[in-house]
């Protein structure tokens, strides 16, 4: 088991290197750099020193070096929590991203917790009450949840909140807490604002999870050992929890592999729509202005988050399911 974990972690490192290099080069690919747009602005104002200023800026950001040198410089700094300069405001990237990263992680964790809890309750209810009213309602919610794209839902909710309730749904805290250090009041405010984004991002994941849990549990409930248990007079709750549920719960942990990329993708676009102070809007801005260091740092974090999440889910699955735990050494 320990060897398996060690191997997985060792495999993670080259994967992250490859992804970061690929991303860095892709962002740098198009002609021009982040200085270009700033200089164009200077030129249009008729500034005579524009070209000289451009050279100075390029010197400062190291843009006169070839891309592979810049990549090596950036990636070697990553281990010292130094991600280079952001091109837009000439501030270190690490100053820009701190709080946004924390809020992103909080939001994504909350979303996954939401998906698990809600789909667990609804899924078990739907499976144990098959073809009853509640089951149909759950299936309907599941279907709608799967087919309505989350960012369009966010857009519509934003509109409804604004026009019919006079609320601004966007943002992740009350205005008076912005740029303030963490406090109890701020945490509470963030928590309140988290509700809508978490529901919006988590909806399709929840819908998929409900479907799978319901199907798995229904399969399991038809098996003979359940009938035997019932015939022996086992209490219904105990009969449900003791064996069938343990079987059916596997996908909950296993599916985090599919869930995590979905949640991260969703959080990027939904936070742009709702203008949340998370990584999404900043990543978008950085990509648009070709701020290579900033964008690559965000993408590296996304990749790390995904890879670590996968590892955790695999380990949790192994802990939960003896078949995988003992099969791991022979299969993998």
Partner 1 sequence: MTDRTTTPPPAAPKRRAEHYVNREPWDPYVAERLTAEQEKYYMAGQWKLMWWRFRRHRPAVVSMVFLALMYLSTVISEFIAPYNLQTRSSAYIFAPPQQVHLFHDGKFFGPFVYGHKTTRDMETLQRVYTPDPTKPQPLRFFCLGDSYEFWGLIEGSFHFVCPPKGGHFFWLGTDRLGRDMFSRIVYAARISLTIGLIGITLSFALALVLGGLAGYYGGWVDMVVQRLTEIIKSFPHLPLWLALSAALPVTWSPLVIYFGITLILALLDWPGLGRAVRSKLLSLREEDYASAAQMMGAKPGRIIGRHLLPGFMSHLIASATLSIPSMILAETALSFLGLGLRPPITSWGVLLNEATDINVVAVNWWLMLPVVPVILVILAYQFMGDGMRDAADPYA
Minimum CB distance to partner 1 smaller for 240 or for 305 = 305
Whole-number minimum distance, CB 184 to partner 1, in Å?
30
Structure-block tokens of residue 280 = 């999404």
Integer-rounded Cα Rg, in Å, for the chain is 25
Whole-number minimum distance, CB 269 to partner 1, in Å?
6
The neighbour count for residue 3, using CB atoms within 10 Å, is 9
Query: Taking every pair of C-alpha atoms in the chain, what is the biggest distance, in angstroms?
Result: 92
Q: Please, which residues have CB within 8 angstroms of residue 115's CB and are 6 or more apart in sequence?
A: 202, 205, 206, 209, 259, 263
The neighbour count for residue 260, using CB atoms within 10 Å, is 21
Number of residues that bind partner 1 (CB under 8 A): 46
Residues within window 28-57 making contact with partner 1, judged by CB under 8 A: 29-32
Whole-number minimum distance, CB 264 to partner 1, in Å?
4
For 183: left if phi > 0, alpha if psi spans -120 to 50, otherwise beta; the answer is beta
Minimum CB distance to partner 1 smaller for 199 or for 308 = 308
Residue 273 in contact with partner 1, rule: CB under 8 A: yes
Residue 149 in contact with partner 1, rule: CB under 8 A: yes
Among 67, 146, 316, 328, binds partner 1 (CB under 8 A): 146
Question: Which residues in 63-83 are b (16+ Cβ under 10 Å) and which e?
Answer: beeeeeebbeebbebbeeeeb
Minimum CB distance to partner 1 smaller for 146 or for 324 = 146
Residue 91 in contact with partner 1, rule: CB under 8 A: no
Residues near partner 1 (CB under 8 A) are 15, 19, 23, 26-27, 29-32, 146-149, 151-152, 155-156, 158-159, 162-163, 170, 257, 260-262, 264-266, 268-269, 272-273, 283-284, 287-288, 290, 295, 298-299, 302-303, 306-307, 310
């Amino acid at each position: 088991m320990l060897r398996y974990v060690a191997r997985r972690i060792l495999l993670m490192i080259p994967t992250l290197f490859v992804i970061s290099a690929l991303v860095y080069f892709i962002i740098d690919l198009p002609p021009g750099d982040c200085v270009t747009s700033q200089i164009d602005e200077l030129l249009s104002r008729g500034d005579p020193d524009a070209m000289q200023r451009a050279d100075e800026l390029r010197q400062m950001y190291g843009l006169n070096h070839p891309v592979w040198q810049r990549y090596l410089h950036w990636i070697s700094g990553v281990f010292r929590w130094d991600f280079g300069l952001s091109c837009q405001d000439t501030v270190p990237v690490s100053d820009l991203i701190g709080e946004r990263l924390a809020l992103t992680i909080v939001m994504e964790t909350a979303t996954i917790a939401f998906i698990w809890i809600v789909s667990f309750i609804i899924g078990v209810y739907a499976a144990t009450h098959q073809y009853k009213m509640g089951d149909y309602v759950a299936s309907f919610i599941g279907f709608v949840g799967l087919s309505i794209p989350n960012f369009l839902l966010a857009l519509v909710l934003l509109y409804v909140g604004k026009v019919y309730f006079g609320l601004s749904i966007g943002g992740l805290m009350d205005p008076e807490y912005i740029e303030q250090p963490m406090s109890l009041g701020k945490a509470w405010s963030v928590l309140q604002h988290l509700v809508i984004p978490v529901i919006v991002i988590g909806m399709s994941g929840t819908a998929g999870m409900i479907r799978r849990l319901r199907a798995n549990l229904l399969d399991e409930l038809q098996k003979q050992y359940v009938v035997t248990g019932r015939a022996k007079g086992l209490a219904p709750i105990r009969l449900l929890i003791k064996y069938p549920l343990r079987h059916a719960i596997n996908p909950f942990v296993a599916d985090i592999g599919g869930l995590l990329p979905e949640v991260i993708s969703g959080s990027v676009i939904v936070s742009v729509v709702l203008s949340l102070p998370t990584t999404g809007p900043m990543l978008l801005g950085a990509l648009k202005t070709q701020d290579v260091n900033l964008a690559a740092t965000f993408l590296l974090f996304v990749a790390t988050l995904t890879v670590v999440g996968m590892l955790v889910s695999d380990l949790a699955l192994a802990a939960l399911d003896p078949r995988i735990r003992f099969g791991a050494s022979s299969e993998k």
